[in-house]
Amino acid sequence: MALGPDHPLLSVTLRPHRSLTPRGLWLVVICVGLASLVAAIPFVVMGFWPVAGFYGLDVALLAFAFRASLNSAAMTEEVALTPVELHVRRKYVKGTMEEWRFNPIWTRLHVDRHEEFGISKITLRSRGTSLLIGQSLGPDDKQKLYSALSSALSQAKTGPVFESEKQE
């Protein structure tokens, strides 16, 4: 089997994990809003109407926080490794993009481990450049990324493999 210089050894797209869908998040906001409305009614009836405003403020802040969380889910990080290049591309929420290119032969993986939680940071290091990757992943996903990237980097360091053509 030939593994040429453009053959991908690893190609992953990393996205922040979200436990609820956008619809589920807005359903939570609506339920909290209805509960706040029900809780505010007795205060309004007793004449303490400013309390209702604070209930509304809580719901508005919750909606703002959920919207920010949904927007942050749009960030992606792409890691692509071939025998001749390790390419990392980050697309941020506002549409800006950053790219890094490393030579796999000179690239080393460094991990910071926590006793209880596992891997807390994965860093690519190459010729004085350090780059944290997978920051939005949980410890289990970081372990999977580290294992896959470590294996692929080892394979890339062996170099491309070319099949020789038969001469007749």
Q: Which amino acid is at 126?
A: S
Q: How far apart are the first and last CA of the chain?
A: 21
Question: Which pLDDT belongs to residue 125?
Answer: 92
Q: The whole model's pTM is what? A: 0.69
Q: Hey, what are 64's tokens?
A: 């703002």
Cα separation of 140 and 167, whole Å?
A: 50
Query: Is domain 10-16+76-157 annotated with CATH 2.50.20?
Result: no
Q: What is the pLDDT along the chain (168 residues), one digit of tens a residue?
A: 445 566 788 888 888 877 788 899 889 999 999 999 999 999 999 998 888 889 999 999 999 998 888 887 778 899 999 888 899 999 988 889 999 999 988 889 998 888 888 888 999 999 888 999 988 888 888 899 999 999 999 888 886 666 665 555
Domain ranges of the chain: 10-16+76-157, 22-72
What pLDDT is recorded for position 167? 52
Q: How far is the CA of 50 from the CAs of 64, 82, 110, in angstroms? A: 21, 62, 54
For residue 1, the model assigns a pLDDT of: 45
DSSP label of 117:
T
> What are the residues facing 129 on neighbouring strands?
126
